[in-house]
Amino acid sequence: MLIIISPAKSLDTETPSVYTNFTLPEMTEKSEKLVKRLKTMSPKQLSALMGISADLGERNFKRFQQWQLPFTTENAKQSIFVFNGDVYHGLQAKTLSAELLELAQTRLRILSGLYGVLRPLDLMQPYRLEMGTKLKYQRAVNLYEFWNPAITKKINEAVAQSGSGVLVNLASSEYFKSIDNKKLKAKVVTPEFRELKNGKYVMVSFFAKRARGLMTRFVLENNITNPSELEAFDVEGYVLNPRLSKPENPIFTREQ
């Protein structure tokens, strides 16, 4: 069983890694093509492209100018320790044992607008480039067209290596769209997380993102290989809601 999650905008490049083992991203040739294109853009152009502030445009201009191969432990860090958003707060990768980190290496993939597909221990340099960004490269009019065939191939390979034929989709819709469903060779299970608000169960982005990280950790800690075992997820007050759920779309709810 393979899990996919989204990256995060918030990054931690300063804190030293708690784990020495690392691997290298598998699609840096394609990443390098994007960076060469991005290096030609000014901070103002980057801000307009990504819809970000002038300060963030300047910060990411510097990141792209400094981006270079090869990646080493001196200029890069394992992806699972760099991303620092809500999903990763739920995952708490820094507290995973070495055994669980190595398990994550085979069972978890991070989709990325710059790197395509990252394994948890792949070194990466900081960036900001969301999958929905309308960056043109040759015939590709956006990142979906640029990445779709390569990402789909890598995910199919990883699913096959996992041995179960199941893909647990804990990524956002923006990132899941980077996979070609028609060519995906897996049964997709997409868990959802909802909060009770005014008598109805609704998805609240902040909590849902954190819950995706919590479930990722739950799968690793319990070495779950069958999607039906996901139904036992009961972390931080969430429980399966049978009335709302479907086999391919288990819905977990909680009352705060």
**So where are the chain's domains?**
2-254
Share of the chain above pLDDT 90, in %: 99
Specify the 3-state DSSP secondary structure of 90. helix
The per-residue pLDDT for range 74-112, each reduced to its tens digit, is 999 999 999 999 999 999 999 999 999 999 999 999 999
pLDDT of residue 159: 97
pLDDT of residue 164: 87
- Asked whether the predicted pLDDT for residue 256 surpasses 80, the reply is no
For the chain, the average pLDDT equals 97
How many angstroms separate the first and last alpha carbons of the chain?
A: 31
Share of the chain above pLDDT 70, in %: 100
- Asked whether the predicted pLDDT for residue 163 surpasses 90, the reply is no
Specify the 3-state DSSP secondary structure of 88. helix
CA–CA dist 108, 91 (Å, integer): 12
Contacts 24+ apart (CB under 8 A), 14-19: 15/81, 17/73, 17/77, 17/78, 17/81, 18/81, 18/94, 19/78, 19/81, 19/98, 19/101, 19/121
The per-residue pLDDT for range 39-80, each reduced to its tens digit, is 999 999 999 999 999 999 999 999 999 999 999 999 999 999
pLDDT of residue 225: 93
Q: Which helix (H) or strand (E) holds 249?
A: none
CA–CA dist 151, 145 (Å, integer): 10
Instruction: Please report, as a single letter, which amino acid is at residue 229.
Output: E
CA–CA dist 69, 107 (Å, integer): 26
- Asked whether the predicted pLDDT for residue 207 surpasses 90, the reply is yes
Torsion of CA 10, 216, 27, 47, to 10 degrees: -20
pLDDT of residue 34: 98
- Asked whether the predicted pLDDT for residue 116 surpasses 90, the reply is yes
pLDDT of residue 57: 98
Which residue from 170, 186, 196 is spatially nearest to 250, judged by alpha carbons? 170
The per-residue pLDDT for range 192-204, each reduced to its tens digit, is 999 999 999 999 9
Cα→Cα distances 78→25, 119, 122, 124, Å: 10, 9, 5, 6
CA–CA dist 129, 143 (Å, integer): 9
